[in-house]
Structure 1
Amino acid sequence: MAELAQYLTLGLADETFGISIRNVREILDIRPISRLPHAPDFLVGMIDVRGSGYPIVDLRTKLDLPRVPATEATRIIILDVPMEDRLVGVGFIADCVFEVTDIDESRIEPPPSVGGRWKSDYLAGVGRKGDKFVIIFDLRRLMLSTDLMQTAEAALAKPVAA
């Protein structure tokens, strides 16, 4: 029996990744990002969206992929990320966003443990869309970083310069 769930599919370094649509708040065009001093490499800064500040994570850096310049296709995806006892709004930079698609969750396989170009501990599994693979992020594990939370919470306590 198929257990279809909707995922936002996005592109990073010629791979297709998926994030549960339940976690997606909105998708934004790339925009200027206010830098944060002493932040981890993957935390590029903060943006203001209608009066709320969001820390912005470079997914390429977080996955140990080389950085690339932003293009017209580059997007910031604002997500509700489960952290401890609450949801935290975090923006992720992706090379591009493809679509919202149905993936059969009953057929999601565990991530391969043979090593690869990305850290498998950040992945919930590998799903299929037709004949293509979609690598599903585990957002909680992806963001399990006290550095991120401390830096983001400190930055959120201060107003973001426009």
Structure 2
Amino acid sequence: MAATSQYLTLGLAGETFGISIRNVREILDMRPISRLPHAPNFLLGMIDVRGAGYPIVDLRTKLGLPAVAATEATRIIILDVPMNDRLVGVGFVADCVFEVTDIDEQAIEPIPEVGGKWQSDYAAGIGRKGEKFVVIFDLARLMAADGMTEGSAARLDASFAA
């Protein structure tokens, strides 16, 4: 029997991405985000969820896609992201969330080597759901890509708690 894992599938600029359900804490409707001065452009700010502060990352900006205004479908996905041997709570803004789906682990293919500077280091591989391709995020590499390190996340936590 093929080993399957569950992934939360989300939409971003018309493409489908997947995040292991093991990393997902909850999915929230879009809400006001408190801006942080001098934060990197992909870091929208912080939100409070039941007394805990979470940094919020715009996945579009993080992936080099054009920013768009939030819609009724926009969601914040609260995740446990592995950073330096611990899990850090981070929120990702996605255009929409589709479903939790099973993806066959054996069918996940490596990212194609096409040469050049294709930004693909954030992806663990490409899975399939029917005829659709699902780009599976490697959360640790995605967050390490632009300097969102454990130290900056800890400083955010500290500044939000103050």
TM-score class, shorter: over 0.9
- What SS does structure 2 have at the residue aligned with 1:36? coil
RMSD, aligned α-carbons: 2.0
Indicate how the Cα distance of structure 1 residues 23 and 31 shifts in structure 2: closer, same or farther if over 3 A, else same.
same
Q: How far apart, in 2, do the equivalents of 1:137 and 1:96 lie?
A: 16
1:98 corresponding residue in structure 2 = 98
- 1:115 deviates by 6.6
Q: Is the 8 A contact 1:5 1:102 kept in 2?
A: yes
2:16 corresponding residue in structure 1 = 16
**Residue identity matched to 1:151:** S
**Residue identity matched to 2:73:** A
Moved over 3 A (4+): none
- 1:145 deviates by 5.1
Deviations 1:71-106 (A, max 9, x none): 000000000000111000000000000000000011
1:155 corresponding residue in structure 2 = 156
1:63 matched to 2:63? The reply is yes
Q: How far apart, in 2, do the equivalents of 1:54 and 1:138 lie?
A: 19
Indicate how the Cα distance of structure 1 residues 159 and 59 shifts in structure 2: closer, same or farther if over 3 A, else same.
closer
Q: Is the 8 A contact 2:122 2:145 kept in 1?
A: no
Deviations 1:2-47 (A, max 9, x none): 1110000000000000000000000000000001111111111000
Q: Is the 8 A contact 2:17 2:136 kept in 1?
A: yes
Mapping of residues 136-151 of structure 1, within 5 Å: 136-144=136-144, 147-149=147-149, 150-151=151-152
Mapping of residues 2-81 of structure 1, within 5 Å: 2-81=2-81
- 1:114 deviates by 2.2
- Any gaps of 5 or more consecutive residues in structure 2? none
- What SS does structure 1 have at the residue aligned with 2:140? helix
- Under a length normalisation based on structure 2, what TM-score does the superposition of the two structures give? 0.93
- What SS does structure 1 have at the residue aligned with 2:73? coil
Number of aligned residue pairs: give it.
161
Q: How far apart, in 1, do the equivalents of 2:142 and 2:153 lie?
A: 15
Indicate how the Cα distance of structure 1 residues 51 and 121 shifts in structure 2: closer, same or farther if over 3 A, else same.
same
Q: Is the 8 A contact 1:46 1:160 kept in 2?
A: no
Q: Is the 8 A contact 1:35 1:44 kept in 2?
A: yes
- Any gaps of 5 or more consecutive residues in structure 1? none
Percent identical pairs in the alignment equals: 76
- Under a length normalisation based on structure 1, what TM-score does the superposition of the two structures give? 0.93
Q: How far apart, in 2, do the equivalents of 1:115 and 1:96 lie?
A: 31
